[in-house]
Amino acid sequence: MKSYNFAFFDEGSKREIRRATLKAIALPGYQVPFASREMPIARGWGTGGLQLTLSLVGKDDKIKVIDQGADESVNAVNIKKLIKNTTDVEETEFTEEATLIQSRHRIPEIELREDQILVLQVPIPEPLREIEPSEYITKRLHADKEYSGIWLMLFERIMKHGSMATGADHPVLVNNRYVMAPSPIPRFDNHKLNNSKALILLGAGREKKIYAVPPYTEVQSLAFEDYPFEVENMDDKVCRLCGARGVFMDELIDEETKEKYYQCNDVSYCLQRLNNEIAN
Amino acid sequence: MGYVAVKGGTSAIEESIKRLRYERLKGKQVIDVEVIKHSMRGLIDQIMSEGSLYSRDLAALAIKQAEGNPEEATFLIRAYRSTLPRKYYSKVVETEWMRVERRISAAFKDIPGGQILGATYDYTHRLLDFSLYEEKIEEIKEWVEEFEKSLETDCEEISSQLPKVIDLLRREGFIDQVKRDDSEPEDVTRKSIEFPTTRSERLQILTRGETGALTALGYASIRGYGTLHPTVGELRVGKLPIYIDYPLENSDTDEDSIYIGEIQVTEVESLIPDVKEADNENGNKEIQFSIGYGICYGQNETKAIAMSILDNCLEKSHIDSPVHNEEFVLMHVDCIEATGFISHLKLPHYVTFQSKLDSARKIKKENKRDEKL
């Protein structure tokens, strides 16, 4: 049986995905439908991101893959392995070394640069899905910039819970035009989308959508004047390993003392601090 | 020496894959792909149909690799399919040209060409046949040879081309005359669908759909959530010849097309009664029939019938029921999409859960404060 082409896809398929990507960049926050392919890893496990990565990767690229902050998480390892097996490009865990970063649900703590691309994996690309199950209708709501439904949803939550009570995937407004699902990144990461120097691409394989936040694009998290957007509370948390503050932390339980402690969620960031490779 | 990342994930995956291999091999028996190909027709047909790739060889290999798990085997086939460039599109296939192996009609007892039962489980008793424990290859060979000899004398009279049952009704005016539409269909694997869809897009999604999902939704429809009881006008299983245009010249005359092989399909045309406002003088309502169409690779009769029901349901989108809602049906019948998203729940959700927990804690804290006030 013949072996696979560079980066798995045939060249025609890659070109097709890149065309959809270019359209997405031209229309910040707009979900571009694309002919999502079946991949050797399961739908819902990062196939949207993977298709973007494989369509973009060249022989000189350096790849970093993260899953919920960790380079060594099983799914990140698995995706990296597939990219490596089909391209033989270099891998890295250091954020600043990577040219192409595929991530599930986190934006790295180290600020990205203009020459880097961040690819985010997206489970549900439609920010209005919770209020409207029909794709036919949500597409029209976006076209009309008719977002009262989502505002109302946030308002009702404030009425019910006293706050917007959103978890990850807090909706954002991109370039003052499209309301966009930032993928389930924590609210803590939302501000990193705003005026990002790096190109941010979002891919949803199962839902067959690609969308983008081009460099230096305004991205605002939806909020009210009297109920401002709030990120997860990390103020009083210190990383037990590197002593970092003000970054997103994992909550862990000490097996012996049964006490709660914290550790940087971005593992490579933590490691670099420990090795004094970045300023403490 | 600096700190290094714990390589937990990599080695865990390697060990898990080893363990998986062990589970496949620990009985110390190897099944030949050829044996699968010639003895697991039912599974191969299901996987070719859901995998949307017509290859008995690759389906058999996928079954071996997936230890007979149809969900996994379909997945392997679909992923392989993604790497194949689309070089040609076939010419339009007329199912009247089918080399029929089986053909029944539930609508008429006598149909031109006759009912042909062919190979079917329908009239077998589902009793476990314990003699299969002892099947001997010599005995099989003898039986097969004898059976094949008897075929040579019997079968010559059956015409290879049989008229369509629904054409009879059409001639009587019970089925709306429709214009022939040979316009180029959109390929749903090359352009993702947008709603509302065209019929050709719907049929493509349904024929790739998961057998169980189609059956469940088709069943829901006839049990009370959709169209009334349909009648199977005709169900056929047989081989269709496939032609492509001669690739080197811009010519689309029939003489220049090339025969590239044949595929086995199951085709179903269901009749669904519709009450219609008539144009006749007395203004009475008339009953007409609309058609539900199902077709899929291999012999998958339940799936093809379910598909024909759903095709008809989706043509009647004005009816307020989930099985008449194209987004509800088309977005949820694909095996790869459904199993993928369900199984992704096994992935870590540390960050997302942490984020939700933060919200929940905050609300709790505020509620407590409110209580104190």
Cβ separation of A185 and B189 shorter than 8 Å? Answer: no
Cβ separation of B327 and A134 shorter than 8 Å? Answer: yes
Nearest CB to A275 within list B3, B85, B360: B3
In chain B, the residue whose alpha carbon lies closest to the alpha carbon of A161 is B363
Residues in chain A with CB shorter than 8 Å from the CB of B60 are: none
In chain B, the residue whose alpha carbon lies closest to the alpha carbon of A6 is B83
Residues in chain B with CB shorter than 8 Å from the CB of A68 are: 348-352
Give the best residue of B324, B354, B364 to mutate against chain A (max A CB count within 10 A): B354
Determine the pLDDT at residue A225.
Answer: 95
Mean pLDDT of A216-239: 94
C-alpha dihedral (A32, A33, A35, A37), degrees to nearest 10: 80
Nearest CB to A250 within list B4, B352, B354: B354
Whether residue A153 is contained in a domain is answered as no
- Alpha carbons B294 and B322: distance in angstroms, whole number: 19
For the stretch A45-71, pLDDT in tens is 999 999 999 999 999 999 999 999 999
For residue B286, name the pLDDT band (cuts at 50, 70, 90). Answer: confident
Residue written as tokens 């936040």? A213
Determine the pLDDT at residue B79.
Answer: 95
Name residue B259's beta-bridge partners: B243
Cβ separation of B192 and A38 shorter than 8 Å? Answer: no
Q: Are residues A86 and A48 in the same domain?
A: yes
Determine the pLDDT at residue B257.
Answer: 87
- Alpha carbons A247 and A229: distance in angstroms, whole number: 17
pTM exceeding 0.90? no
Highest-confidence range of B69-73, B107-111, B315-319, by mean pLDDT? B69-73
Q: Are residues A110 and A55 in the same domain?
A: yes
Mean pLDDT of A180-203: 97
Q: Is the pLDDT of residue B4 over 70?
A: no
Whether residue A44 is contained in a domain is answered as yes
In chain A, the residue whose alpha carbon lies closest to the alpha carbon of B370 is A162
Are A261 and A252 in contact by the 8 Å Cβ rule? The answer is yes
Nearest CB to B195 within list A4, A76, A136: A136
Cβ separation of B83 and A44 shorter than 8 Å? Answer: no
Q: Is the pLDDT of residue A83 over 70?
A: yes
Determine the pLDDT at residue A227.
Answer: 94
Taking the CA of residue B216 and the nearest CA in chain A, the distance in Å comes to 21
Determine the pLDDT at residue B110.
Answer: 85
Q: Are residues A107 and A244 in the same domain?
A: no
Whether residue A194 is contained in a domain is answered as yes
For the stretch A13-32, pLDDT in tens is 999 999 999 999 999 999 99
Residues in chain B with CB shorter than 8 Å from the CB of A185 are: 351
In chain A, the residue whose alpha carbon lies closest to the alpha carbon of B72 is A42
Give the best residue of A3, A43, A189, A241 to mutate against chain B (max B CB count within 10 A): A43
Whether residue A151 is contained in a domain is answered as no
Q: What is the DSSP letter of B185?
A: P
Q: Is the pLDDT of residue B191 over 60?
A: yes
For the stretch B325-370, pLDDT in tens is 999 999 999 999 999 999 999 988 888 888 888 888 888 888 887 7
Weakest-pLDDT range from A75-84, A97-106, B70-79, B165-174: B165-174
Q: Are residues A181 and A256 in the same domain?
A: no
Residues in chain A with CB shorter than 8 Å from the CB of B351 are: 68-69, 105-106, 168, 184-186, 248, 265
More confidently predicted of B102 and B155: B102
Give the best residue of B352, B365, B366, B367 to mutate against chain A (max A CB count within 10 A): B352
Whether residue A241 is contained in a domain is answered as yes
Q: Which of A216, A186, A39, A40 is nearest to A120 (CA)?
A: A186
Residues in chain B with CB shorter than 8 Å from the CB of A70 are: 9
Cβ separation of B79 and A38 shorter than 8 Å? Answer: yes
Cβ separation of A135 and B6 shorter than 8 Å? Answer: no
Are B204 and B76 in contact by the 8 Å Cβ rule? The answer is no
Determine the pLDDT at residue A147.
Answer: 98
In chain B, the residue whose alpha carbon lies closest to the alpha carbon of A275 is B2
Q: Which helix (H) or strand (E) holds B243?
A: strand B231-244
Q: Are residues A107 and A246 in the same domain?
A: no
Taking the CA of residue A248 and the nearest CA in chain B, the distance in Å comes to 9
- Alpha carbons B264 and B261: distance in angstroms, whole number: 10
Overall size of chain B counted in residues: 373
Nearest CB to B358 within list A76, A232, A268: A232
Determine the pLDDT at residue B158.
Answer: 55
Q: Which two tokens stand for residue A276?
A: 């004094």
Taking the CA of residue B160 and the nearest CA in chain A, the distance in Å comes to 36
| Identity of the residue numbered A54 | L
More confidently predicted of A190 and A258: A190
In chain A, the residue whose alpha carbon lies closest to the alpha carbon of B10 is A77
For residue A103, name the pLDDT band (cuts at 50, 70, 90). Answer: very high
For strand B99-104 and strand A260-264, is the pairing parallel, antiparallel, or unpaired?
Answer: unpaired
Determine the pLDDT at residue B35.
Answer: 97
Are B303 and B215 in contact by the 8 Å Cβ rule? The answer is yes
For strand A62-67 and strand A90-91, is the pairing parallel, antiparallel, or unpaired?
Answer: parallel
- Alpha carbons B275 and A273: distance in angstroms, whole number: 75
- DSSP codes, B303-325: HHHHHHHHHHHHH-TTS-SGGG-
More confidently predicted of B5 and A263: A263
**How many domains is chain A built from?**
2
Exposure string of B176-199, with b = 16+ CB inside 10 Å and e = fewer, is eeeeeeeeeebebbeebbeeebee
Active site residues of A: 29, 239, 242, 264, 270
Mean pLDDT of B117-143: 93
Nearest CB to B351 within list A10, A165, A168: A168
Nearest CB to B352 within list A13, A16, A168: A168
Cβ separation of A33 and B194 shorter than 8 Å? Answer: yes
For residue B5, name the pLDDT band (cuts at 50, 70, 90). Answer: low
Cβ separation of A163 and B363 shorter than 8 Å? Answer: yes
Name residue B262's beta-bridge partners: B241
More confidently predicted of A133 and B228: A133
Mean pLDDT of A116-137: 95
| Identity of the residue numbered B34 | E
- Alpha carbons B359 and B362: distance in angstroms, whole number: 5
Cβ separation of A186 and B351 shorter than 8 Å? Answer: yes
Question: What does the angle CA A133 – CA A210 – CA A125 come to, to the nearest 5 degrees?
Answer: 30
Report helix, strand or coil for B265. Answer: strand
For residue B254, name the pLDDT band (cuts at 50, 70, 90). Answer: low
Cβ separation of B13 and A78 shorter than 8 Å? Answer: yes
Q: Are residues A211 and A173 in the same domain?
A: yes
CA atoms within 13 A on the CB side of A71: 19
What's the ipTM? 0.79
In chain A, the residue whose alpha carbon lies closest to the alpha carbon of B348 is A68
Q: How many CB pairs under 8 A join A and B?
A: 165
Cβ separation of B82 and A39 shorter than 8 Å? Answer: yes
**If you average pLDDT over every residue of chain B, what do you get?**
89
For residue B282, name the pLDDT band (cuts at 50, 70, 90). Answer: low
For residue B6, name the pLDDT band (cuts at 50, 70, 90). Answer: low
CA atoms within 13 A on the CB side of B86: 13
Nearest CB to B5 within list A12, A34, A271: A271
Determine the pLDDT at residue A132.
Answer: 93
- Alpha carbons A210 and A223: distance in angstroms, whole number: 25
Domain of residue A78, CATH code: 3.40.50.11310
Determine the pLDDT at residue B277.
Answer: 66
Percent of chain B with pLDDT over 90: 59
Are B230 and B222 in contact by the 8 Å Cβ rule? The answer is yes
Cβ separation of A233 and B358 shorter than 8 Å? Answer: yes
Q: Which positions ≥6 away from A144 have C-beta within 8 Å?
A: none
Domain region containing A73:
11-123+168-219
- DSSP codes, A136-200: HHHHHHHHTT--HHHHHHHHHHHHHHSS----SS--EEETTTEEE---S--HHHHHHHTT-SSEE
Q: Are residues A175 and A245 in the same domain?
A: no
Mean pLDDT of A231-238: 91
Cβ separation of B363 and A162 shorter than 8 Å? Answer: yes
- Alpha carbons B178 and B181: distance in angstroms, whole number: 9
Long-range contacts, A20-27 (Cβ 8 Å, 24+): A20/A210, A21/A52, A21/A55, A21/A56, A21/A201, A21/A210, A21/A212, A24/A201, A24/A210, A24/A211, A24/A212, A25/A199, A25/A201, A25/A212, A25/A214, A27/A178
Determine the pLDDT at residue A1.
Answer: 39
- Alpha carbons A16 and A36: distance in angstroms, whole number: 10
In chain B, the residue whose alpha carbon lies closest to the alpha carbon of A206 is B337
